[in-house]
Structure 1
Amino acid sequence: MCSLNRKKPLELEGEVSCFRRCLTTLDLVALGVGSTLGAGVYVLSGEVSREVAGPSIILSFLVAAVAAIFAGLCYAELGARVPKTGSAYLYTYVVVGEVWAFATGWNLLMSYVIGTSGVARAWSGTFDDLIHNVIAHTLRISLAMDSPALAPYPDFFAAGLIILLAGIFSLGVKESAVVNTVFTALNMAMLLFIIVAGFINGDLNNWRIPEDMLRNATINLSPPFNDTVDYGVGGFFPFGVKGTLAGASTCFYAFIGFDCIATTGEEVQNPQRAIPISIVASLLICFLAYLGASAALTLMMPYYLLDAHSPLPVAFKYVGWEPAKYAVAVGSLCALSSSLLGVMFPMPRVLYAMASDGLLFKTLGNVSSRQVPHVATLSLGALAAFMALLLDLKALVDMSSMGTIFAFTLVAVCILILRYTEDSSLEHTSQPFSLMGVLRPPSHPTAQTSKNVNIVIIVPCLPVLPVISIFINTYLMVQLGGETWTAYAIWMAVGIILYFGYGVRHSVHKQAPKGTERVHYEVDFVTPLGLPPPLTRTDSVRWWLHPASGACA
C-alpha cells in the first residue's frame, strides 16, 4: 500500500517536454472563457429567474462567482507552482499521493468524456431546432431505439461533430486554439449585442413589481402555470434571500470549465505567468457576461413571464425586437462550439499525463510529430462519439459536474498541505498572529506557510478560502441525486480495479529514488496587482524541490 503515499517528483532540470510551447495568454483566456461561457448563459438565467431567484439572479451570479474564484485561485497558484501537463491530477500526485492522483484523473476523464458527449448532443439539438426538428423527426421514424439506456434515436450529427473536432485537435494545438478563439469572439460579440439591446429596451419597474400587481398578473396565466409555480412576492427579492442563495448554488455550475487552462502547462509560453492570469481573467469575463445577460433579461421582461427554455428569444419578442432571436441563435451555436472545444482540449492531456506516469496503458501517452497526444485524442474522441451516438445522457450529466467538483476539492486540499506542512529544513521561530499576515501571506516559507514560494498569484486568507471552497464543493456533491451517486460509485469501482490491477504495478515512480538531494528551477516573477512580495519584474526566484517528495522548500 506504499502507493497511497507515493508522490511524483518534479524532475524539471534537464527534462525535455514532448509538447510545443506556442500558446499565448490570450489563447488561454479564450480557452477558459469558451469552455466556461457555454450555452447556459442563453438559458440558465431564464430558468433560475422565473422559479428560484427572480431579478436577484444578478446577486446569485455574484455569489457563485466569488465561490468559483476561491477554486480558481487554488488552481492559479498550483498552475504557477507546477507548470506541467496534468491539471488537478498532477497537483494531487505531487502533493498528496499516487492513489489520490489516479482517483482525480479518473474523475476528470469521466467529466470530460460525458461533458463532450452532452455538449455535442446539445449542439445537434440546437441546430435541429433552427431547421424545425427535421433531423429528429426523420430519425425517430426510421431509426427509433426503444430502450431505457439508449437515446430515442442515434444522433449521427453529434457523433460526427466530435470526430471532426478530434481530427482538428490532432492537427496541432495552435490550430485548435485559433478555431476556439474565433468561436469565443463571435459568442462574446453576440452577448454584447444582447446585453446592450436588453438595456435599451429594459424597464426598471420589472425589478420592483408590487405583490398585488404580481398576484393579479399571475391569475390570468393559463393552467398549469398558476397551479404549479410559486412566483414569490414580487420586488427584487421575490423568493427572499433564501431564493437568491439557492440560485447561487445552481449558477455555480455555470463557472465550471476554467480548469481546462491548467492542462496547458507545457504548451503555453511563460506558464508561471500565463496560467494564473488566464484563470482569473476568464472567470472575471464570464462573471461580467452572466451578470449583463441576466440583468438585461430581467429588465426586458417581468421575471414571472420568462420562458424557462428559450428566455431570450421570448423576451425580445415581448419588447418588439423579434428579429434579435437570430443573434441569440448564432450566439448559442458559437457558445456551444467553443464550449465543446474547451471540454475536449484538456481531455487527452489528462489521459496522456496518466499514461506517461504508467497508471494507464503506455500507448495512450504517444505523441505525434505535430507534438499532440494523438492516440489519447482519437481514443477519447471515439468513446465520446459513441456515447453521443447511442446513449441516453440525461442520467449521466450530473456525473460530469461531480467529477470536476471532486477535482476542485482536492486542489484546495493541496493548497492547504503545501502551505501548512512544515519543512524540517527550516528554522522555525514563533510568529505572532496578525491580520495582515492572513490577508497577505509571506513570500518566504515560515512555520505557518513552509511551502510558500514567490509566484504570480498566491491564495490569500489562508486557511479560510481553501476551507470555504472545500465546504462549497462538498455541499454541491451532497445535493446530487441517488442515481448520480450510484453511477459514480460504479465508475470509481472500475477505476479502482484498473489502478490496483495495472497502474500500481506499472507506475514509473514505483522505484523513485529516495533522498533529500535537491534540484532547482528558476522562475521569472511578476509582481501581481495588490499582492506581495516586494520584488521587481526583473527579479528571479529560485524554487527548490525535494525530488523524492515534490515538496517545495
Structure 2
Amino acid sequence: MASLAEAWHAARRRLLRTKPAPVATAAGGSAPDGEARLAKVLSTPDLVSLGAGSCAGTGMYVVAGLVAKTLAGPGVVLSFAAAAAASLLSGACYAELGVRVPRTSGSAYAYSYVTVGELAAFLIGWNLILEYLIGTAAGASALSAALDSLSGGAVRRYAAARLGGLSALGGGPGDPPDPLAALIVLLTALVVALGVRNSAVLNNVLNAVNAAAWAFVVLAGLFFVSARNWEEDGGFLPFGWSGVMQGAATCFYAFIGFDIIATTGEEAQDPAASIPYAIAASLATCLLAYVSVSVVLTLAVPYRRIDGSAPLMGMFAAHGFRWGEYAAAAGSVAGLGVSLLGSLFPMPRIIYAMASDGLLFRCLSHVWARTRTPAAACAISGLLASVLALVVSLRELIQMMSIGTLLAYSLVSVCVLLLRHRPDDDDDDLHHSADGQDDDAPDFHEGPAPVARLRAGLGVPPPGARPTEASARTAARCTLAFFALSFVLWGAVVLGPGGAAGAALWAPAAAGLAALLLTLLRQPRSGRRLAYAAPCVPFLPAAAILVNSYFMLKLSALTWARFAVWCALGLLIYGGYGAWHSSLEMSARQEEAGASSYRRFDEHLDDDDPRRPSSYRDGAYDPEDGDGRPGYQNGAYERNGDDDDVGYQRGGSRENEDGSYCMEESKN
C-alpha cells in the first residue's frame, strides 16, 4: 500500500508540476544561448491585421450564410453578437496573460503550463493544434470551392476525372478529394516558413482587398434589401432563441482569430502594450463586419434561399448583378486566403513551444537560422493540414466546430483566477506601500456607506490584504470546482428535462456555483502591478467559464466523439514520450542525480567512533559547535569558506547512451 501511495503521489506531482513564470517567458523555455530566436518584427497594426484577418474571411464568406440558413435565420445577427460577447470575456483574460508572459510563442499552452500544470497544458496545446488544423483545412477547402465556382466547376470536374470514383470523407458521390485545397495549404505553409515579415506583408495586402470587398458588398447590397425577408417565413427568429444560441456556438468559431495575437507575443515589438489593444480592436472589427454582412444578406435574400457554400456571391447572383458577384468572388478569395494564413500562422508556433518544452518531439523545435522561423513545425503543420484538406469535405470540416478552442479559452480564465490569488514573489512589482496598503487604491472604508457595508458583510478583504499559501490553495480548489460544476449546470439545462424536474437538477448546481464564487470573492488577491489586468475579477473570468462551457454543451455528440478520440491520441503521445522527456522532467532527473553524487568520508563510522567529528549530532553537522567545521544539514553539504578538511567529496554525473545517468566519484 505504501508503494502504491508513493507511486500515486509521484504521478500526481508529475502531472501537476508547473513552470515558473520567468522560465515560461522564454520561447519555449529551453532554447540554449547561441540558438536562433524568433524575430521581434510585428507592430501593433500587424497584430490587429493578423487577428481580424484570420477570422473575418471565414466568418463573412462561410459562417454567416451557413448559420443563417440552417440554425438561426435572420437571428444570425444576434448569434454573432452573443459569440462576440463571449469572445470578449475570454479576450480580456487572454490579454492579461499575454502581458504577464509576453515572450511566449505558445499562447494558452504556455499560460496554463505556468498555472494549471503540465498535463492540462499539453491537452490545451494539443487541442489548439486540432483547431488550427481544422481551420486551415476548412479555409483551403472554402478557397478551393470559390475558385471552382469562378471556373464554372472545372476544378471539381478535373479532380473527379483524375481520381475516379473516390469521394472525400463526409462528402457525397459528387464530392471527390480536393487536390487544389491541399496545394493551397502547402503554398501557404511555404509563405509562413519564409519569415514572419513576409507573412505579415501578404496578410496586410489580402486584408486590404478583403476590406474593400466588404465595403462594396455592404453598400451594393443595400440596393436589394427588403424588410419582408425579416417578416415572412417565421419572422426574425424562425428557429427561436435555441437556434440563436446554437448559432452562437457555431459563430464562436468565427472569432477565434484573436488567439493568433497571443501566440505571437515573442515576435511582437512591444507585447505588453500591443496585445490588449490588438485583441480588442480585432474583436470590434470582426463584429462590425459580421453584423453588417449578416444584416444585408438576410434582408436581401430569404434565409432559406441563401447559398450555403458561397452566400455573398449567391446574393448578387439571385438579383442578376454580375459585377457584384465578381467583386464578392474577389473578396472571398482574399478573405479566405487571409483566414487560411491566420489559421496556419500560429499552429507551428504552438508545436514549436511544445517541442521546445519536450512534450512533443524535440526535432520539431528547430528554428531556421536564415528566416528565424520554426521550419520543422511549419513543415509538419502544412503536411497534416494538406492531407486533411485533401480527404475531408468542407461540409464535414465545418461540422467539427471549435470545442477544443472553447476548452482552451475556459482554462485561460482558470489561469487568471489562479494567478490573481497566488502569493506575490519578493521581487514582484507591487503597487502597495510598506504598510501593506495599495498606493493607488481607495481605502477599504471610503466611498458610499452602503457599498462599504455590503463589502464588509460579504467578507471581501481590504485592498491591502495579500494572498497566502493557504488562501491560494482555497482559491485553487474553488476555481477548479467552479470549472467542473459549470458543466454540471449546463448539462442539466441543455440535456435535462424541462419544468420542475429540470429545476431540481440545475438549481443545486447554480447554488453551488454562487457559493464558490462568494468564497473566491473573500480571498485576497495579488498586488502585482501589470500593464493590463482583466477587470472585475473574479466575476469576468467566472462569466467566461460559464459561457464557454455552455457553448461546448451546445455542440453535437459527433463533435464530442471526435474530440474524445483526438484527446486519447494526445494522451498516448504524452504518456509515451512527453511525460518522460519534458524539460521539467529532465531537470528533475539531473538534480536528483547531482544530489545522489554527494559522499561523506565518515559514512562508514559509528556515531561513537572517536574519528567521527564531535559536532555531528544525529546525522547533522552543527557549524556553531566550536570546532569550526563546515555545516552538514539534513544530508546536504554547504561549504563555509575554502577549508575542505572534512574530506567531503562531490562526484559528477554523466549520461549514458541509453539516457540513464551514472555517478562518478572524485578522489583526493
Q: Same fold (TM over 0.5)?
A: yes
1:490 Cα shift?
2.0
Q: Which structure 2 residues correspond to residues 488-507 of structure 1 after superposition, within 5 A?
A: 488-507=563-582
Does the 8 Å contact 1:76/1:280 carry over to 2?
no
Whole-Å separation in 2 of the counterparts to 1:460 and 1:445: 18
Report what 1:3 is aligned to. Answer: 14
1:48 Cα shift?
3.5
1:320 Cα shift?
5.6
1:161 aligns with 2:161: no
Report what 1:387 is aligned to. Answer: 388
Does the 8 Å contact 2:64/2:76 carry over to 1?
yes
In structure 1, the residue corresponding to 2:222 is in which secondary structure?
helix
Give the aligned residue type for 1:255: F
1:389 Cα shift?
2.4
Of 193, 199, 210 in structure 1, the residue corresponding to residue 222 of structure 2 is 199
1:109 Cα shift?
1.3
Does the 8 Å contact 1:313/1:322 carry over to 2?
no
Report what 2:596 is aligned to. Answer: none
Please provide the CA RMSD for this pair.
3.2
Whole-Å separation in 1 of the counterparts to 2:388 and 2:53: 23
Report what 2:421 is aligned to. Answer: 420
Whole-Å separation in 2 of the counterparts to 1:473 and 1:376: 29
Higher relative contact order (CA 8 A, sep 6+): 1
1:418–1:294 CA distance, 2 compared to 1 (3 A): same
1:414 Cα shift?
0.6
Report what 2:115 is aligned to. Answer: 95
1:58 aligns with 2:77: yes
Report what 2:662 is aligned to. Answer: none
1:120 Cα shift?
1.2
1:130 Cα shift?
1.0
Residue by residue over 1:383-405, the C-alpha shift from the partner in whole angstroms, topping out at 9 and shown as x without a partner, is 22222223456545544612211
1:49–1:360 CA distance, 2 compared to 1 (3 A): closer
Report what 1:45 is aligned to. Answer: 64
Whole-Å separation in 2 of the counterparts to 1:62 and 1:495: 34
**Range that drifts further, 133-142 or 304-313:** 304-313
In structure 2, the residue corresponding to 1:260 is in which secondary structure?
helix
* Structure 1: stretches of 5+ with no match in the other structure: 215-230, 515-553
Whole-Å separation in 2 of the counterparts to 1:386 and 1:45: 26
Report what 2:270 is aligned to. Answer: 270
1:237 Cα shift?
4.5
Report what 1:323 is aligned to. Answer: 323
1:179 aligns with 2:202: yes
Report what 2:100 is aligned to. Answer: 81
Whole-Å separation in 2 of the counterparts to 1:486 and 1:307: 29
In structure 2, the residue corresponding to 1:80 is in which secondary structure?
helix
Residue by residue over 1:210-247, the C-alpha shift from the partner in whole angstroms, topping out at 9 and shown as x without a partner, is xxxx3xxxxxxxxxxxxxxxx31x3x455555544443
Q: Which structure 2 residues correspond to residues 27-42 of structure 1 after superposition, within 5 A?
A: 27-42=46-61
1:462 Cα shift?
2.0
Whole-Å separation in 2 of the counterparts to 1:393 and 1:57: 21
Report what 1:402 is aligned to. Answer: 403
In structure 1, the residue corresponding to 2:42 is in which secondary structure?
coil
Give the aligned residue type for 2:559: T
Report what 1:529 is aligned to. Answer: none
1:302 Cα shift?
4.7
Give TM-score, length-normalised by structure 1.
0.80
1:79–1:316 CA distance, 2 compared to 1 (3 A): same
Q: Which structure 2 residues correspond to residues 328-347 of structure 1 after superposition, within 5 A?
A: 328-347=328-347
1:189 aligns with 2:212: yes
Whole-Å separation in 1 of the counterparts to 2:127 and 2:220: 41
Whole-Å separation in 2 of the counterparts to 1:59 and 1:279: 21
1:305–1:5 CA distance, 2 compared to 1 (3 A): closer
Whole-Å separation in 1 of the counterparts to 2:219 and 2:464: 47
In structure 1, the residue corresponding to 2:372 is in which secondary structure?
coil
1:67 aligns with 2:86: yes
Whole-Å separation in 1 of the counterparts to 2:68 and 2:464: 46
1:95 Cα shift?
0.9
1:268 Cα shift?
0.8
Residue by residue over 1:257-309, the C-alpha shift from the partner in whole angstroms, topping out at 9 and shown as x without a partner, is 22011111111101111111111110000001111111222333454554444
Give the aligned residue type for 2:273: R
Does the 8 Å contact 1:115/1:400 carry over to 2?
no
Does the 8 Å contact 2:58/2:254 carry over to 1?
no
**Range that drifts further, 157-166 or 241-250:** 241-250
Residue by residue over 1:432-469, the C-alpha shift from the partner in whole angstroms, topping out at 9 and shown as x without a partner, is 7769999xx99988444533543343222222222222
Report what 2:158 is aligned to. Answer: 138
1:124 Cα shift?
1.1
Report what 1:535 is aligned to. Answer: none
Does the 8 Å contact 2:170/2:395 carry over to 1?
no
In structure 1, the residue corresponding to 2:266 is in which secondary structure?
coil
Whole-Å separation in 2 of the counterparts to 1:25 and 1:444: 35
Aligned residue pairs, count: 489
1:169–1:239 CA distance, 2 compared to 1 (3 A): closer
Residue by residue over 1:342-368, the C-alpha shift from the partner in whole angstroms, topping out at 9 and shown as x without a partner, is 001011100110111111111110111
In structure 2, the residue corresponding to 1:491 is in which secondary structure?
helix
1:94–1:166 CA distance, 2 compared to 1 (3 A): same
Report what 2:518 is aligned to. Answer: none
Identity %: 44
Of 27, 32, 41 in structure 2, the residue corresponding to residue 22 of structure 1 is 41
Give the aligned residue type for 1:498: I
Give the aligned residue type for 2:404: G
Does the 8 Å contact 1:47/1:308 carry over to 2?
yes
1:424–1:190 CA distance, 2 compared to 1 (3 A): closer
Report what 2:352 is aligned to. Answer: 352
Residue by residue over 1:109-135, the C-alpha shift from the partner in whole angstroms, topping out at 9 and shown as x without a partner, is 122123212221221121111111112
Larger Rg: 2
1:436–1:179 CA distance, 2 compared to 1 (3 A): farther
Q: Which structure 2 residues correspond to residues 93-492 of structure 1 after superposition, within 5 A?
A: 93-146=113-166, 149=169, 152-204=175-227, 206-207=229-230, 209=231, 214=232, 231-232=233-234, 234=235, 236-303=236-303, 305-317=305-317, 321-369=321-369, 370-392=371-393, 394-395=395-396, 397-399=398-400, 401-422=402-423, 446-447=466-467, 448=523, 450-451=525-526, 453-492=528-567
Give TM-score, length-normalised by structure 2.
0.67
**Range that drifts further, 447-456 or 464-473:** 447-456
1:316 Cα shift?
3.0
Whole-Å separation in 1 of the counterparts to 2:394 and 2:301: 33
Does the 8 Å contact 1:61/1:251 carry over to 2?
yes
Report what 2:611 is aligned to. Answer: none
Report what 2:666 is aligned to. Answer: none
1:138 Cα shift?
2.1
1:449–1:398 CA distance, 2 compared to 1 (3 A): farther
Whole-Å separation in 2 of the counterparts to 1:147 and 1:205: 40
Whole-Å separation in 1 of the counterparts to 2:353 and 2:462: 32
1:112–1:442 CA distance, 2 compared to 1 (3 A): farther
* Structure 2: stretches of 5+ with no match in the other structure: 1-10, 438-442, 446-450, 468-522, 592-668
1:133–1:496 CA distance, 2 compared to 1 (3 A): same
Give the aligned residue type for 1:285: T
1:85 Cα shift?
1.2
Whole-Å separation in 1 of the counterparts to 2:540 and 2:195: 37
In structure 2, the residue corresponding to 1:11 is in which secondary structure?
helix
Does the 8 Å contact 2:436/2:465 carry over to 1?
no
Give the aligned residue type for 2:386: A
Give the aligned residue type for 1:165: T
1:501–1:134 CA distance, 2 compared to 1 (3 A): same
